[in-house]
Structures are given as structure tokens and as C-alpha cells.
A and B are shown apart, each in its own frame.
Chain A
Amino acid sequence: MLKTVAAAALALSAILTAPAHAAPDVPDFVTIDVVTVNGSGCPAGTAAVAAADDRTAFTVTYSQYLAQAGQGSGPTDFRKNCQLNIKVSYPQGFTFGIAQADYRGFANLQQGATGTERGNYYFQGMSQGASRTHTFTGPKSDNWQATDRATVSEIVYAPCGEVRHLNINTELRVNAGTASKANSFMTMDSTDSSVSTKYQFSWKRC
């Protein structure tokens, strides 16, 4: 749930609580730009960013974002992370919330092993964050997909009148569990995020 951040942001910015359908006066251009991509799962040169032409969506792909445990793995390999720093530009007088991020990858988990994808969301300069976790249980050897979607009432609001970059720190963890002899691993192939005034973003007047 993203309620923690929502509550914090609401308190800070005294946003007028508008009905969920009060979005007709949505401004035209909300844009998102990936500023940095870095982490143990995405060292320099291993991540590629593809932005949509209108800068309302992006795809990040990874070449070595893989966490593993058990046979053949190092003791620190069970947890990898990749953090995206995103500049969100929006017209004056409006604030915003992120509504959707899609994570896709592959997991090979032995019976007894588990894999976790976690997204930590926070704004620069705000201690409060929100996180969502998706857990996968072995036996599994297939693609996985996870979506973090915030409904209008629990959306993350940026403080009005301030410019803060949004951080999305994703991580993969693999726990060998009772399958410590065999290898279990989990990869992330891509992260997609988008903002849309139509169906993936909600707006409230400052």
C-alpha cells in the first residue's frame, strides 16, 4: 500500500481533497525523464533506457540484473538492486501521483526456494517511503510479471510547488530455503513506468 506516502504528502502540502472524478481540468503535459539508473543489479553500461517520444513513459532493460542462491553463487549474490531516479515535470498548480510500474523477468526457483521483487518508492528529501513486494515460490521456471498500481485514493502526491525527483529502488532477492544445494535465480528483464492523464495518473489542485 502506498498510503503512508500519500498521507505524508497530504499533510505536507495541504492538498484539497477532490472527488476522484474531478480530473477534467488536467493539464496537457506531464513528463518523466530518467535521470540516473544505478545499482548492484545495473552497473554502468548494463541498463538501457528507452523513452517514449512524448516523455510520458519509459522502458528500462537490463543485461545482468540477476540474483541467485545455492550452487554456483557467491554469498552476496542473493540480493541485487537497481535504483531509478526520475524527474517529473508538471504544470504549475497541479501535483501528481505515480500510478503504475510494470516489472518483468524470469525466475528459476527450486522446490523450497523463494524469490522476491520489491519496489521502494520515495521522493528526494522525504523520509517517508512506500514499498510493494511480490513473492514467488518454487518450484517455478518461467517468466514473472509484477505491477504496482496505486488507486486514486492511495496515490503518491508530490508536494505542491516543489520539484522533487522520484526514486524507485527495485530489488531482487532469492532465498534458497530448503534447496540450498541446487541453484535458484531470478532476473529482471525490464521495468516500465508511465504517466497518463487519462488512466494512469490522477490530479489534485494545490
Chain B
Amino acid sequence: MLNTLAAAALAMSTIIIPPGGAPGDTPPPDHITIDVVTINGSGCRAGTAAVAVSPDNKAFTVTYSEFMAQVGPQALPTDFRKNCQLNLRVNVPSGFTYGISSTDYRGFAHLERGATALEKANYYFQGMSQTEYKQHNYRGPFSDDWQATDTTDVAAIVYHPCGEKRNFNINTELRVMAGTSDPKKVTSFIAMDSTDGSIETTYHFAWKVCPPKP
């Protein structure tokens, strides 16, 4: 749940909650767009990630060539956890605020019996300490593609503080734990192939009107 962030943002920005409290009732006058500003992390060093943005700037796909965490005889002690952080600029029509709604993660995992892996995404705005996360766990034996989707319902959505421009950060990470498997003999790994983010004013985004500036 992203309730904490939502509460914090609400407290800071004095967003007016419309009577009836049904976010999404008021569509924005124009569409919103997103730009990927930076991609960086131990799992996506410079030159290893590619970004494809849809023509309407409402969705994007990031693909990775070496976003992989592993344990095993050939792995370094620091290889069991890798991260990749996306910094997103969300362009919002004036007078409206927004929340992020849906992200899809896809990849492959090979986990020996006894090993476990997780995909975790931390979500936060620049300048806000509050961090929310969603986590998906996988358990060996497993050797197949995996897919995880993080969605938030309307009541738990993250609202952008009115009147300030803050980029949104999504820090994704992959971890593998050897568990009861023997990392001196067998390798377990989890890789992320792609991250897809999208915003839809119809159902992926909720809107609230900011108060007029004094």
C-alpha cells in the first residue's frame, strides 16, 4: 500500500478533496506524459539499459542487458543483490496533481531447490523521505520466466505535491538467497529483462484539483 506516501503528500500540499471523495471524477484538460530522465544502478550501468517511450509519452519500456543477481561458485559475494533506479519526470497539466499506478516487471529466474529470490521496487518522490515498496518472492526449484505487476488502487495512490515539481523515483532490485542450496556447487540467479510503466488518465491515474494560489 502506498497510503503513507499519499498521506504525507496530502499533508504537505493541502490538496482539496472533492466532495464525494471519488478521485478520477474530474478528468484532466489535457493528457499527461512521462519522460525517463535517468536510469542507473549496479544492475544497469551506463550503456546497459535501453528506453523506448510510446509516441504519446504515456508508457515506456526499459530493457536491460545485465540486470542479474546471482549466488554460486562463480559469483562474487556482492553479486546476490543488484539494483536499477529509474528517475521519471511526469508532466502534468497545470492545476492537477497525480499518482503513479501500474508497473510491470518481467524476467527469468533459475533457482535451485532451497534457494529463494525476490524482486522489490521502492517508490518515492525527490525530497520526500517516505519510501513505499512492493515485493514479489520466488522459491526454488524454479527455472522459468517470471512476471510481477505493481498496481495501486485509487484510494492508495500517490499524489504529487501541488505547486512543486518533483521527479518520481522507482528503485528496483533483485536479490537471490542460497538458502539451503549449496552456493559452492550450484548457481541460482534472477534476471530482469524489462520494466514497463504506464499512465492512463482513465484508470491508471487519479486526479484532484489543487487549491488556487493566494
Residues 35-74 of A, flagged 1 when their CB comes within 8 A of B and 0 if not, give 0000000000111111111101111011110101011110
In the assembled complex, the Cα of A104 lies from the Cα of B82 at a distance in Å of: 14
Is the Cβ of B87 less than 8 Å from the Cβ of A61? Answer: yes
Which of A54, A63, A182, A193 has a CB less than 8 Å from the CB of B41?
A63
Which of B41, B77, B80, B87 has a CB less than 8 Å from the CB of A50?
B87
Is the Cβ of A200 less than 8 Å from the Cβ of B122? Answer: no
- Contact A196 B164, CB 8 Å, known A50-B87, A104-B122: yes
Query: Can you offer 20 A-B residue contacts whose CB atoms are under 8 A?
Result: A48-B40, A49-B38, A50-B87, A50-B167, A51-B167, A52-B167, A53-B89, A53-B165, A59-B169, A61-B40, A63-B46, A64-B42, A102-B124, A104-B131, A143-B122, A183-B77, A187-B83, A190-B171, A194-B166, A198-B164
CB distance from A140 to the nearest CB of B (A): 12
**Which residues of A142-162 have CB atoms within 8 Å of chain B's CB atoms?**
143, 145, 147
Which of A46, A66, A196 has a CB less than 8 Å from the CB of B78?
A66
Give the secondary structure class of A's interface: strand
Output the nearest chain B residue to A143 by Cβ-Cβ distance.
B122
In the assembled complex, the Cα of A56 lies from the Cα of B163 at a distance in Å of: 12
Chain B residues with CB below 8 A from A51, complex form: 167
Is the Cβ of B45 less than 8 Å from the Cβ of A64? Answer: yes
Chain B interface size, under 10 / 10 to 19 / 20 to 34 / 35 or more: 35 or more
In the assembled complex, the Cα of A133 lies from the Cα of B41 at a distance in Å of: 23
In the assembled complex, the Cα of A66 lies from the Cα of B173 at a distance in Å of: 15
- Contact A108 B38, CB 8 Å, known A50-B167, A52-B165, A145-B129: no
Is the Cβ of A61 less than 8 Å from the Cβ of B38? Answer: yes
Q: Number of A interface residues at 8 Å Cβ cutoff, please give it.
A: 45
**Which residues of B116-159 have CB atoms within 8 Å of chain A's CB atoms?**
120, 122, 124, 126-129, 131, 133
Interface, chain B (partner A; CB < 8 A): 12, 37-42, 44-46, 76-78, 80-81, 83, 85, 87, 89, 120, 122, 124, 126-129, 131, 133, 164-167, 169, 171, 173
- Contact A183 B165, CB 8 Å, known A106-B83, A189-B83: no
Chain A residues with CB below 8 A from B77, complex form: 68, 70-73, 182-183, 185
CB distance from A116 to the nearest CB of B (A): 18
Is the Cβ of A189 less than 8 Å from the Cβ of B85? Answer: yes
CB distance from B125 to the nearest CB of A (A): 8
CB distance from B199 to the nearest CB of A (A): 17
In the assembled complex, the Cα of A46 lies from the Cα of B127 at a distance in Å of: 22
In the assembled complex, the Cα of A174 lies from the Cα of B48 at a distance in Å of: 28
- Contact A190 B169, CB 8 Å, known A63-B46, A66-B42: yes
